[in-house]
Structure 1
């Protein structure tokens, strides 16, 4: 008999993801099925894409965000991801947090039932911790899945291999400051954000993730460390003509199908019609159609270099010419690192981010590849910064002496970068990591001058610092390589 049900869009209207060579998603899908959790096609799609892997087996995405209206089934995605982390991925600590304690506790009970009903999984469990506020599942092999309510201090002291942020439409700087640094010491961490449309001021982090995704789409590229999925509509506005096809009719079934992948599985058009007649217009648009209100960082961003001035310097066809200089920087938490290059271009300087990835274990291998290919005039690392610990290993690996700027030279490098922008003597590729860093950067006093500073902990300015140091390296004094001692023997 033919299936007469109507189904929502299984592919999201908005999606951004970095390239991947393989995926662990199918393992998560199959394991969930063994536990009795059969996932919808859209849920499977999220796991396959969000759990994409690079050629070396590390995660393609450090951050995965799922923005979908309520009651569509995001809980199933969370459970499948957490089951994989516990029983296949070997993630030592998975931190599941929610805005409200009752939400975290309900999530614990759901996955506990799945595990208890699957004998080969249940026998691997050492203990189900059910003390209020300490709900956890601990395996004999040491893996731990812990459920907590978010607060300014929750998560501090824990080293999470995977952080699951449920109810991410209520997630701000305080909570991110507490939870994100827990992943700094982990070689290959991953963070998942799941929730529904933004609700204004509380949706700080979700707003940032969304802006990064939209910026990548606008630039026709991908964000190097973010996978973002969103089911939503773009409703008509008062200015739309009657025959407008660029926007969605909020009262139509088509809008419901576009924004709700769970229709046909756990939602029906009939149930949604009841919501449409009961909820306020704005409430229906937010809760069912995914039309969010996202706080803007505009007042607090682009404080040093104006966005318009920066975008005006973008040149898609530009590339550096010899000689070039490379530089490396990383976040204080060592969660991300960046390699940037600078070189001459049309009488000015071209800068670009060559690599920007989570973790630090990849840096030496990538630097060796770049050094062999480009033969740069120098490598620059600030010995007083977080990447200073790499200098000895980098010198040994590359066989060169790394150039490290003194404090006054760091200030000079920042001033030179700023001057090049204001004088329109710099070009770039309008890469999202560099733009995001500039948008979130501030000045910090450095003697009588200044250097780059992060506005908040969740802003990664390592691409900007690396680009600044690479530009400085073009004119820095470079140590002469040691000569052949035999050439002095007569």
Structure 2
């Protein structure tokens, strides 16, 4: 049992899971001393993370190129981040440090905290050339005499970090990190002589989040990764295990290193009451337990099978359905069309794909008037759900009677429909019952797609995939819309073979 200097009990200063690569020395003592000179006095657990995360190999390279720290909220992970950034700025000669968070307000708060530490420490403040805050970004730049280091704070998007050749990256709120964002930031370190990334967060609400991949590497002791997780090992699908965890006072101390320091036992006891967080939320938010990851579908589609379905002369011969999808970062939108060929095989094709989203509604109005589709698919539970009301305003609406839809009505899938549609599209590729014209954006989506759990089934995972998969998600919805609506609308209208 750990006790504070005044005799009170405090949380465990070492994590339940910890792995790090071997090292011969650590830069942590100097970093810890600098933090103390700025009035930032670290707890023993914070020093533990810094010591093993800042381990060095002979010659001075970092033993860990990635460091992952998972601890429940309000324990003080921000103190580790502040100590790191002070050390990188003023001690270790880094040129560019990039601090990103999921939300702007979190990045702004982190900036204000470290700005305050610098301004209140004359020896540090005199080495600062400027503090800036404008255009949704904040930062600190040292004088040339002090090395000219820069620390930038940004809110993440699909492109945040792309084009920056940073020495160090801090990724706060890492539970919200998507595979696309990860892909955008990873190349920023590739050309640096001694890069390092630090990930900080709490367990994700989405069991398909990219953070599960990082956690898996950490628990496996992957090379060049330092991993620290204070979270409890609780099966959140077992009500008895959840109830036992909520009632276990010792577990509270095991999972919260700052309990008895900056978090009071009384506060945690209130969180555990029926009127508090609730059992599942208490286990996740206070005990750091991760949701179980349900079994998934195929990690990827068979690219070779997809490429064997290329027919550059492929054309539809009859009715069509459209569908629209938007990337999670809203960087791109894609409209896809699906219909049948004369030989009865399916045909899927990107009808339009552009940056942004402001063009989509107008374009769908034109396509609807020109091709009189059997349906326009819209997954309202995904990013494209924001288009529902704008589409209604221009007359593209759900059917009044689901059994008697009109041409051009919206087809809105349920979660069960989405899972079924993804499985059916995967089967169509495997069985060779559709064709495409070989559009590179579609093939790229096939190469980079990963799946996410959806109930007892699976669906395409926008946030865990390594590229823009909107052509695939749009194509899947378009195919589903066609298959569920084509037999319900009666019309001998013959569409043309191309969009023009």
Normalised to the residue count of structure 1, the TM-score between the two structures is 0.58
Q: What corresponds to 1:36 in structure 2? A: 39
CA contact (8 A) 2:71 2:202 kept: yes
Cα deviation for residue 270 of structure 1 reads 0.9
1:155 alignment partner, SS class: coil
Q: What corresponds to 2:262 in structure 1? A: 266
RMSD of aligned alpha carbons? 3.0
Q: Report 1:160-239 matches (<5 A).
A: 160-201=166-207, 204-214=209-219, 216=220, 222-235=221-234
Cα deviation for residue 232 of structure 1 reads 1.4
Residues in 2 aligned to 1:186 and 1:152: alpha-carbon distance in whole angstroms:
22
Distance 1:2 1:175, change over 3 A: closer
Distance 1:129 1:235, change over 3 A: same
Residues in 1 aligned to 2:285 and 2:195: alpha-carbon distance in whole angstroms:
31
Residues in 1 aligned to 2:201 and 2:245: alpha-carbon distance in whole angstroms:
24
Q: What corresponds to 2:291 in structure 1? A: 293
Q: What corresponds to 2:248 in structure 1? A: 252
Distance 1:294 1:106, change over 3 A: farther
Cα deviation for residue 296 of structure 1 reads 6.5
CA deviation digits over 1:235-254, x for unaligned, max 9? 3678799xx9xx96331211
Structure of greater Rg: 2
2:245 alignment partner, SS class: coil
Residues in 2 aligned to 1:65 and 1:113: alpha-carbon distance in whole angstroms:
26
CA contact (8 A) 1:235 1:250 kept: no
Q: What corresponds to 2:470 in structure 1? A: none
Q: Report 1:26-175 matches (<5 A).
A: 26-140=29-143, 141-175=147-181
Cα deviation for residue 26 of structure 1 reads 1.2
Distance 1:180 1:2, change over 3 A: closer
CA deviation digits over 1:115-144, x for unaligned, max 9? 111111111100001214120100012210
**How many residue pairs get matched?**
305
Residues in 1 aligned to 2:5 and 2:172: alpha-carbon distance in whole angstroms:
37
CA contact (8 A) 1:176 1:458 kept: no
Q: Structure 1: any 5+ residue segments left out of the alignment?
A: 217-221, 305-444, 446-452, 461-490
Residues in 1 aligned to 2:283 and 2:159: alpha-carbon distance in whole angstroms:
34
Normalised to the residue count of structure 2, the TM-score between the two structures is 0.57
Q: Structure 2: any 5+ residue segments left out of the alignment?
A: 303-437, 439-446, 451-462, 467-500
Distance 1:48 1:39, change over 3 A: same
Residues in 2 aligned to 1:228 and 1:280: alpha-carbon distance in whole angstroms:
29
Residues in 1 aligned to 2:182 and 2:292: alpha-carbon distance in whole angstroms:
17
Cα deviation for residue 213 of structure 1 reads 2.0
CA deviation digits over 1:443-474, x for unaligned, max 9? xx9xxxxxxx87789999xxxxxxxxxxxxxx
CA deviation digits over 1:170-202, x for unaligned, max 9? 01112112111111111110000001112115x
